[in-house]
Amino acid sequence: MGVTLNQNTDCCKTSCTNSTVNVAGPAGATGATGAAGTNGTDGVNSYAFTNAGFTVPAVGVGVALYVDNATPWATGQTIYVQVAGYYEVTGTSGGTINAKNLGYTGNAAPTTAIATNRLIVSAGVKGDDGSAGITYPAGFAGKGDLLTLNGPLTYSAQAIGSADTQSLFTDSTAPNGMAWRQPLFTDLDHASAPLALDTVTTSGQLPLASLGGGAAAGQMAYWNGTSWEEVPVGGDGYLLSYDLGNNKPAWVASGAAVGVVAMGVVNTTGTTLSKAATVSGGMNVGTPSTSVPAVLVVTLPFNASVGSGQLCVSLTQAAANNSDRLYVSSITTTGGANGYGQLQVTAQLVAADVDFHFVVFNNS
């Protein structure tokens, strides 16, 4: 709508200049809806199906895959072909994907026939190979075999010992540093860990190195007051006696004259804190005495001389509830309560009575 305005600023003039200005009028009614726009183009599937079979080529060799849709992929991409495995796209043209066999683990073997209508999807590139793993031996043949390390990442089977009672020892000469064998005396007295015998009263430890291995059947050991010594195997029919002159056990030929110089049956009563001893059926033996420092020691004094020859002592248990550790700790021919020497027997300290027979022989 137009409105005419007077442009004169001097209201006294008799003539005026007019101008017309457009002023918006009220809004009109809403117009009719326009026509719909044109639909956009449909998207492309990100997968495809083969529409012809093919034969798996050799690793690194290409093959033409005829598909219903080749547009999702570009050269260099990795694809997975159902049943066939992983392939690399080397080019596309129309309905064809040219791809080479990557030979990944799980791929179908070359010359395998792949049927039509197999799904194709995008896949990732195979990662780098990991570091070399452990090489294990071919297998274990026997019960108890062990897996042992020979060197960096190299293992072998350590067969179980060839006989009962064998133990596994470190052995620097063996390829895997271990060997099965029977224990030796020297194993119990290694310089780094000497053997401590808790059944003998001693202020130190008892080394066994001087025994030389203990390999002979029937070999025994005795304590000489300073170290362990070997008692060699005796002859057939020999008797084990005690050589007072050399203060050690000794084997005596069975033909030598042997006489009984003392004997009896010892019975002990009491507790592990205190024991009393009596002798029945005794010959050449006085009143016994006992001590209980950590083991039970029974001292049996002789009433008369037992001679100056080699002495042999026989000890046997007299009851089933006795200690299973019974041995001669010392024997002398002088001194003691009666001046004729004495026999000392050491037993394991138990609460029950400890009863035993003793016989002292003289090989004169």
Average pLDDT, integer, range 8-30: 69
CA dist., res. 101 & res. 114, Å (int): 13
Both tokens assigned to 199? 């059944």
Residues 246-249: contacts with CB under 8 Å, at least 24 apart: 248/222, 248/224, 249/220, 249/222
Both tokens assigned to 233? 């195997």
194 SS3 class:
strand
Average pLDDT, integer, range 151-163: 67
Least confident of 210-219, 240-249, 321-330, 338-347: 210-219
Q: Is the pTM higher than 0.85?
A: no
Q: What is the predicted pLDDT for the residue at 200?
A: 47
The model's pLDDT over 333-362, given as tens digits with 9 standing for 90+, comes to: 899 999 999 999 988 877 788 888 999 888
Q: What is the predicted pLDDT for the residue at 249?
A: 84
CA dist., res. 87 & res. 59, Å (int): 10
Q: How many CB atoms lie within 10 A of CB 208?
A: 24
Q: What is the predicted pLDDT for the residue at 169?
A: 83
Q: Phi, psi at residue 211, to the nearest 5°?
A: -75, -15
250 SS3 class:
strand
The model's pLDDT over 287-337, given as tens digits with 9 standing for 90+, comes to: 999 998 778 899 999 999 988 777 888 888 876 656 657 888 889 989 999
CA atoms within 13 A on the CB side of 309: 16
CA angle 35, 38, 42 (to 5 degrees): 150
Buried b (16+ CB within 10 A) or exposed e, 260-269: ebbbbebbbe
Average pLDDT, integer, range 191-198: 56
Q: What is the CA radius of gyration of the chain?
A: 54
188 SS3 class:
helix
Cα 95 to Cα 56, 113, 336: the distances in Å are: 19, 20, 117
**pLDDT: which is higher, 36 or 254:** 36
* Of 296, 275, 262, 286, the residue nearest 336 (C-alpha): 286
**Per-residue confidence band for 218, with pLDDT thresholds at 50, 70 and 90:** confident
